[in-house]
Amino acid sequence: MRFDEPALRNPIDDLTVFGRPVARIEGPLKVTGAARYAYERTELGKAAYGVVVGAAIPKGRIRAIDRTAALASPGVLGVITTLDHDRLPTADMCAATLFGGDVIQHHHQAMAVVVADTFEQARAASRLLSVTYERAEGRFVLADEEPRAEAAPDTENGGPDAPDIDVVGDFEAAFRAALVRLEQTYTTPYESPAMMEPHASMAAWQGDHVTIWTSNQMVNWAVRDIPRALGIPAENVRVLSPYVGGGFGAKLFIRCDVVLAALAARALGRPVKVTLHRPVIFNNTSHRSATIQRIRLAAGSDGKLTGISHRGLSGNLPGGLAEMATSQTKLLYAAPNREIGMRMATLDLPESNFMRAPGEAPGLMALEVAMDEMAEKLAMDPIAFRILNDTPVDPHVPNRRFSERHLAECLRVGAERFGWSARQARPAGVRDGRWLVGMGVASAIRNAIPMSSGARVRLERSGRLTVETDMTDIGTGTYTILAQTAAEMLGVTPADVGVTLGDSNLPRAAGSGGQWGAANATGGVFAACVKLREAIAARLGFPAAQCTFADHHVRSGNDTTSLAEVAQRGELIGEDLIEFGDLGKRFQQSTFGAQFAEVGVDAFTGEIRVRRMLAVCDAGRIINPVTARSQVIGGMTMGIGAALMEDLGLDAKRGFFVNHDMAGYEVPVHADVPHLDVVLLDHPDALASPTKAKGIGELGMCGAAPAIANAVYNATGVRIRNYPITLDKLLHELPPLSAL
């Protein structure tokens, strides 16, 4: 099915089960432990355990690895070192070496996998490898590398010919002429996805074919990249990833667990499973780059922005991607003069890669604080200032409208519900006992990215429907929303629908990332269901266009047949792929939100605690308000982390992230997360997808951190522009003890 015209009324619009709060259909499997994750599979036979050993230097070469003692250790079946292989090809959009060769690019790069009968044996033996390194000097400090940084054009939005800097009008002239100006630099730290389930893979070979159970967000990328890495034909690889215990970007691409499980299984002739133990994940896999962002805003005394400049810097290994922290600035506010661009510096740190809301999350942490600062300079309410500078069109392509954009409504609805009118514009004006209390707001934007997505839907002889696709459910609720889609299209209930996901033998779907999963995968199931409806109509001799499907029956005029009856005559299959035309080019498709936060700052100690938050989201039709809300509050929770604590601490001398475990890398615990309120606006987007839905999984994180940052300022009068906002940065500007 080609989607290149706005969606008309279609069976989804009945909203019998689509759009309804259906509980997760796989929930009972997960809470009872019956859902088997990659490391727990038994289909391939008893697997040996592989433990990965990471390099103890950040840059250099490995001269030798002595494995004698490891091989002699109890239970050890084999040791494969990076010196045994040439460098394996890296996955698309990745930069770090997965395995192979003697060159160490970054700390904890995989040097070896030690395989034994038990995990404990493999772990013990892994410590007996003796490695001779040759250290090289490295570049570890982002700010130091700024002079050598190179432009990072916005190719995701601007295509291969995207300019180094997106320019509209003459920013410098506008800035010089402006009555009110802001010029500030903001920094965001390195952050780790820190998902709950570690990376894990299990591999088994049958002849020259390999089956891999893994924890991966994008099965179709994995099945593209694994054959390349292993040097075998694509058709010889099957990848399964039915359950994923969180990813946040860390599992978009294959990491060393996949290739080491496959290499070890091939070498040993038996199934091998490899999980990355937690202390290795932070430096071995990927993280979000730190950023340094310089923002300049120009406005007249009426509060209208006349110029926006947002220039950012991130770092990565050579060949890696930039953290596109300026991309949202192209779309969020009107201003006739603009210059927006990212640069990237080469660093010898672990690979930076996509993490939840890549670009927007750190970008809004700067832009939305700058907007707060500018509103104050203009003596305007921050919400009124944002609404005044709202834009109905892409400011860089003024004839290009947004498909749907309800940012102002998000802000207004949120202000009313949150009680914004009680906010004191003058900072440090509200005390509640020892707490300084403040409120903050921020806008949110995250694009809706159309991607082709396929599915197969079977009407089985039993009368049950089964949805089959290589789509993944990374904890988001995909199983449930695909069941809802098929149920709505065929007039049954979600309980009548089975969903099989995450198998590369099944039709290729969009996968889970960039909040593109829900809209595209439900679109694929929609397309497949249209095919199935046609097949059912054909079997019954009904004109397909006039059939309705409801209450387990198909009707055409006065003729009614139950689906069970149709099915008894033999299984029917509908399979199709949703493909998107140029609607996404003709119209900017994005999701919007407004985030509100109230914080308390201990006037004595500077401890910051979030008291309440609200997110109002404009994300197209909401497919399932329960799973959508869960996505939003999860994003808000990550926003609390980003604002107040998450910080991969760099040892700039030794070239690695020091706090590489869950004790050292602090994420919010329950006590940090107050009641999180969510309002989901209902603005179906007929230009985005046939179900009129858009994604929401990353929107909930966007704007959450800067809303908190602005609330901290409102509470204290202290503006911290270097995240995370921790008490040590506030302390010296808090009221003197004599005043408390």
Partner 1 sequence: MRAFTYQRVAATAEATAALARIPGAKLLAGGTNLLDLMKLEIEAPTHLIDIRDLDLARIEDTAAGGLRIGALVSNTDLASDARIKRHYPVISRAIVSGATGQLRNKASTAGNLLQRNRCPYFYDTDQPCNKRLPGSGCSAIDGASRGLAVIGTSSACIATYPGDLAVALRLLDAEIETVDAAGRTRTLPIADFHRLPGDTPQIETALQPSELITAVILPPPLGGRHFYLKVRDRASYAFALVSVAAVLHPDRTGRIAFGGVAPKPWRVEQAEAALQDSAEAVVSIAFDGATPTEQNAFKVPLAARALASVIARARESSDAV
Give the strand pairing for 337-346 and 166-168.
antiparallel
Q: Cβ 189 to partner 1, closest distance in Å?
A: 12
- Shorter beta-carbon distance to partner 1: residue 422 or 739: 739
- Triad 709, 714, 716: Cα angle to 5°: 95
Q: Of residues 113, 645, 696, 715, which one binds partner 1 by CB under 8 A?
A: 645
Q: What distance lies between CA 90 and its chain's CA centroid?
A: 21
Q: Which residues contact 404 (CB under 8 A, 6 or more apart)?
A: 618, 620, 683, 685, 687, 688
Q: Of residues 13, 394, 565, 672, which one binds partner 1 by CB under 8 A?
A: 672
Amino acid sitting at position 515: Q
Helices and strands, number each (H, E), in the chain: 19, 33
Q: What are the catalytic residues? A: 698
Q: Of residues 651, 675, 682, 733, which one binds partner 1 by CB under 8 A?
A: 651
Complete DSSP assignment for 680-698:
E-----TTT-TT-B---TT
- Shorter beta-carbon distance to partner 1: residue 569 or 654: 654
The CA dihedral of 642, 644, 646, 650, to the nearest 10 degrees, is 120
| Interface mask toward partner 1 for 318-337; x: CB under 8 A | --------------------
396: left (phi over 0), alpha (psi -120 to 50) or beta: alpha
Q: Of residues 21, 23, 69, 127, which one binds partner 1 by CB under 8 A?
A: 127
Nearest to 203 by CA among 259, 140, 154: 259
- Shorter beta-carbon distance to partner 1: residue 707 or 734: 734
Q: Of residues 75, 169, 227, 279, which one binds partner 1 by CB under 8 A?
A: 279
Under the criterion CB under 8 A, does residue 606 sit at the interface with partner 1?
A: yes
Under the criterion CB under 8 A, does residue 198 sit at the interface with partner 1?
A: no
Under the criterion CB under 8 A, does residue 660 sit at the interface with partner 1?
A: yes
Q: Cβ 64 to partner 1, closest distance in Å?
A: 18
Q: Of residues 649, 681, 717, 719, which one binds partner 1 by CB under 8 A?
A: 649
- Shorter beta-carbon distance to partner 1: residue 57 or 262: 57
Q: Cβ 211 to partner 1, closest distance in Å?
A: 31
Identify which range of 251-259, 325-333, 510-518, 724-732 contacts partner 1 by CB under 8 A. 724-732
- Give the pair of three-digit tokens for residue 310: 């947002």
Under the criterion CB under 8 A, does residue 234 sit at the interface with partner 1?
A: no
Give CA–CA dist 393/381, Å, rounded.
24
- Shorter beta-carbon distance to partner 1: residue 40 or 661: 661
Under the criterion CB under 8 A, does residue 717 sit at the interface with partner 1?
A: no
Q: Which residues contact 154 (CB under 8 A, 6 or more apart)?
A: 162, 166, 324, 326, 327, 330, 341, 342
Q: Cβ 553 to partner 1, closest distance in Å?
A: 53
- Shorter beta-carbon distance to partner 1: residue 401 or 611: 611
What's the distance, Cα to Cα, between the start and end of the chain in Å? Answer: 67
Q: Of residues 160, 432, 670, 739, which one binds partner 1 by CB under 8 A?
A: 670
Identify which range of 118-126, 404-412, 452-460, 684-692 contacts partner 1 by CB under 8 A. 118-126
Q: Of residues 46, 399, 732, 739, which one binds partner 1 by CB under 8 A?
A: 732
Under the criterion CB under 8 A, does residue 654 sit at the interface with partner 1?
A: yes
Give CA–CA dist 359/372, Å, rounded.
20
Under the criterion CB under 8 A, does residue 134 sit at the interface with partner 1?
A: no
Which ranges in 247-301 belong to alpha helices (H)?
256-268, 278-284
- Triad 274, 280, 286: Cα angle to 5°: 95
Under the criterion CB under 8 A, does residue 661 sit at the interface with partner 1?
A: yes
Contact indicator for 662, 599 with CB cutoff of 8 Å? no
- Shorter beta-carbon distance to partner 1: residue 117 or 672: 672
Within 10 Å of residue 28's Cβ, how many Cβ atoms? Answer: 11
- Triad 39, 44, 49: Cα angle to 5°: 45
Count the alpha carbons within 13 Å of 726 in the hemisphere toward its beta carbon: 11
Under the criterion CB under 8 A, does residue 551 sit at the interface with partner 1?
A: no
144 φ/ψ angles, rounded to the nearest 5 degrees: -65, -30
Under the criterion CB under 8 A, does residue 734 sit at the interface with partner 1?
A: yes
H/E element holding 292?
strand 291-299
Under the criterion CB under 8 A, does residue 106 sit at the interface with partner 1?
A: no
- Shorter beta-carbon distance to partner 1: residue 54 or 246: 54
- Cβ density class 552-562: b for 16+ within 10 Å, e for less: ebbbbeeeebe
Give CA–CA dist 174/166, Å, rounded.
16
Identify which range of 219-227, 468-476, 667-675, 712-720 contacts partner 1 by CB under 8 A. 667-675
Scanning residues 483 to 542, which ones bind partner 1 (CB under 8 A)?
none
Under the criterion CB under 8 A, does residue 135 sit at the interface with partner 1?
A: no
Nearest to 197 by CA among 211, 212, 181, 216: 216
Q: Of residues 184, 493, 560, 659, which one binds partner 1 by CB under 8 A?
A: 659
In three-state secondary structure terms, 469 is coil
Give CA–CA dist 444/703, Å, rounded.
5
Q: Cβ 341 to partner 1, closest distance in Å?
A: 32
Under the criterion CB under 8 A, does residue 607 sit at the interface with partner 1?
A: yes
Which ranges in 499-588 belong to alpha helices (H)?
517-540, 563-568, 583-586
Q: Which residues contact 506 (CB under 8 A, 6 or more apart)?
A: 456, 468, 469, 470, 500
Under the criterion CB under 8 A, does residue 346 sit at the interface with partner 1?
A: no
H/E element holding 662?
none
Q: Which residues contact 695 (CB under 8 A, 6 or more apart)?
A: 446, 448, 449, 514, 515, 516, 517, 518, 519, 591, 619
Applying CB under 8 A, what is the total number of residues that bind partner 1?
43
Distances (CA, A) of 160 to 154, 197, 645: 9, 36, 37
Under the criterion CB under 8 A, does residue 737 sit at the interface with partner 1?
A: yes
Q: Cβ 612 to partner 1, closest distance in Å?
A: 15
| Interface mask toward partner 1 for 574-603; x: CB under 8 A | ----------------------------x-
| Interface mask toward partner 1 for 431-450; x: CB under 8 A | ---x----------------
Q: Cβ 735 to partner 1, closest distance in Å?
A: 10
| Interface mask toward partner 1 for 32-71; x: CB under 8 A | ----------------------x-x---------------
Under the criterion CB under 8 A, does residue 85 sit at the interface with partner 1?
A: no
- Give the pair of three-digit tokens for residue 342: 């990212």
Q: Cβ 104 to partner 1, closest distance in Å?
A: 12
Q: Cβ 258 to partner 1, closest distance in Å?
A: 24
Contact indicator for 437, 426 with CB cutoff of 8 Å? no
Identify which range of 116-124, 209-217, 541-549, 700-708 contacts partner 1 by CB under 8 A. 116-124
Nearest to 20 by CA among 526, 623, 680: 623
Q: Of residues 101, 227, 625, 664, which one binds partner 1 by CB under 8 A?
A: 664
Identify which range of 85-93, 226-234, 682-690, 729-737 contacts partner 1 by CB under 8 A. 729-737
Under the criterion CB under 8 A, does residue 653 sit at the interface with partner 1?
A: yes
Under the criterion CB under 8 A, does residue 668 sit at the interface with partner 1?
A: yes
Enumerate binding residues for partner 1 (CB under 8 A): 54, 56, 74, 120, 123-124, 127, 279, 434, 602, 604-607, 609, 644-645, 649-651, 653-654, 658-661, 663-664, 666, 668-672, 724, 726-728, 731-732, 734, 737, 740
